C-alpha cells in the first residue's frame, strides 16, 4: 500500500492575528505519501481518494462519539498527487 515519507507541522505566521483568532487558529499538518512502484497514476489517485474518504469518515465518527465541536475535528484539504493546497483567510492587502 501507500508508504509514509514524512509528516510535518506547516509553518505559519500568525503575528498579525488578534486575540480572538489566535484562540481558534487551526493546526495545519502536512503528510507526504509514497506511491508504490507497481502502481500506475490512476491507481495511486484512486487510493489517495479512498484514504481521504476513510479518514473523513473516521473524523466524523469521532465527532459523534466524542461530541466534538466542528473546530475540534480533523479536515483534509487535499491529497492531490499534483499540487499542494494551503488554506488561509486573508485580507485584500495580504494577497
12, pLDDT greater than 90 = no
Residue 65 is predicted with a pLDDT of 81
13, pLDDT greater than 80 = yes
Please answer whether residues 56 and 76 qualify as being in contact, where contact means their C-beta atoms are separated by less than 8 angstroms. Answer: yes
* Grid coordinates belonging to 39: 502502481
C-alpha 10/C-alpha 39 separation (Å) is 28
pLDDT digits (tens, 9 = 90+) for 15-30: 988 898 888 888 888 8
9, pLDDT greater than 80 = yes
Work out whether strand 3-9 and strand 29-34 pair parallel, antiparallel, or are unpaired.
Answer: antiparallel
C-alpha 53/C-alpha 62 separation (Å) is 14
pLDDT digits (tens, 9 = 90+) for 21-80: 888 888 888 889 999 999 999 999 999 999 999 988 888 887 778 877 766 667 788 888
Residue 71 is predicted with a pLDDT of 63
Planar angle of CA 68, 72, 74, nearest 5 degrees: 110
Amino acid at each position: 500500500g501507500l508508504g509514509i515519507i514524512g509528516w510535518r507541522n506547516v509553518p505559519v505566521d500568525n503575528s498579525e492575528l488578534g486575540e480572538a483568532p489566535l484562540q481558534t487558529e487551526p493546526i495545519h499538518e502536512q503528510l507526504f505519501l509514497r506511491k508504490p512502484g507497481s502502481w500506475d497514476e490512476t491507481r495511486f489517485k484512486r487510493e489517495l481518494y479512498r484514504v481521504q474518504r476513510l479518514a473523513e469518515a473516521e473524523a466524523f465518527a469521532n465527532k459523534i462519539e466524542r461530541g466534538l465541536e466542528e473546530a475540534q475535528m480533523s479536515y483534509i484539504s487535499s491529497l492531490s498527487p499534483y499540487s499542494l493546497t494551503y488554506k488561509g483567510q486573508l485580507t485584500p492587502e495580504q494577497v
